[in-house]
Amino acid sequence: MNQTVRTSPDGSEERLSAAYDTALLDLDGVVYAGGEAIAHAVESLGAARDGGMHLAYVTNNAARTPRTVAEHLTRLGVATEPTDVITSAQAVARLIADQVPAGARVLVIGAEGLEVALRERGLEPVFSADDDPAAVAQGYGGPGMTWERLQEASYAVARGVPWFASNTDLTIPSARGISPGNGAAVEVVRIATGAEPQVAGKPLPPMHRETVLRTGASRPLVVGDRLDTDIEGAYVGGVDSLLVLTGVTSAGELLGASPRHRPTYVALDLRGLLSPQPMVLAEGDGGFSCGGWTASAEGGEFVLSGGGAAIDGLRALCGVGWSLAGGGVCELDSGGVLGRLGL
């Protein structure tokens, strides 16, 4: 796939909620963390929706059903219907259904969301490797995932049963910090069997396909907190993206992002949906400016001058780091300038 190498974040004269018809929002680290709403999320989403933007929630977390997720969001203050929620469980269920006979048994290693998605596709969830499954479906099981469930997956996969994973996110944000995600559990089965699963979730095409089929978006904007799933998924799908710094990605990681992980826009939080995005301008000396800040590189380090909103300083720094790295990864020292920005 040919993709232009992005050398700085884009600007937008329109507020993003008007420039795009649908926001494809990640949940963990974007809308909530540990079940509680992230600051400014509820108000920002309400304003975007009231302004005519369709909100769809696209999550790699396969544990909960769309109905449960919609009820949770509604309790937080974001009115949501189950049809507004697209999960990696739905994507992996469709992937499996395309490869096994109708009504086939599928060994479930996960939670209710995965079971419901499989039944939606006419498949029969089973819970033992001895139930003659035609496939193994592994998704995030939450804190209740036991070693016994991973053993069942390993037994079936070792016998040659096709193995599917909803996603391979190694971590997931929680109220207490970063905890192991489904990818960590997938690694356990991989180590035990030497096998490789087919994966459905972001950033891979099955999740993009599921999202397009269920939302019908014509000009979508992917909104996420992870470079390796949300932003790369947008890159793979050929759509624009907004990175918010409320989840797992740090400002330093953003500056060192490879081309596949460079978002179209950058914001501190979901308030970024409600405003135009300032232009990041290339200066004649190889520097970049945004807002009141000017960034450049000298002696293997970033240099930052001026003042203003911290996020504008970060946008200018992205221009320097990404342009110098080209198709690679920026290795300039960023600790000093990010400390100055409070990032």
> If phi over 0 gives left and psi between -120 and 50 gives alpha, with beta otherwise, what is residue 32?
beta
Residue of 10, 26, 130, 333 marked active site: 26
Other CB atoms within 10 Å distance of the CB of residue 260: 18
* Beta carbons of 28 and 61 less than 8 angstroms apart: yes
CA atoms within 13 A on the CB side of 133: 30
225 carries an active-site annotation? no
Chain center to CA of 236 = 12
* Beta carbons of 119 and 41 less than 8 angstroms apart: no
Residue of 28, 84, 240, 312 marked active site: 28
- Which pair of tokens denotes residue 207? 């999740």
| 298: helix, strand or coil | strand
Best CA proximity match to 290, nearest among 323, 318, 249, 262? 318
φ, ψ of residue 10 to 5 degrees: the values are: -85, 165
169 carries an active-site annotation? no
* Beta carbons of 46 and 303 less than 8 angstroms apart: no
Residues known to be catalytic = 26, 28
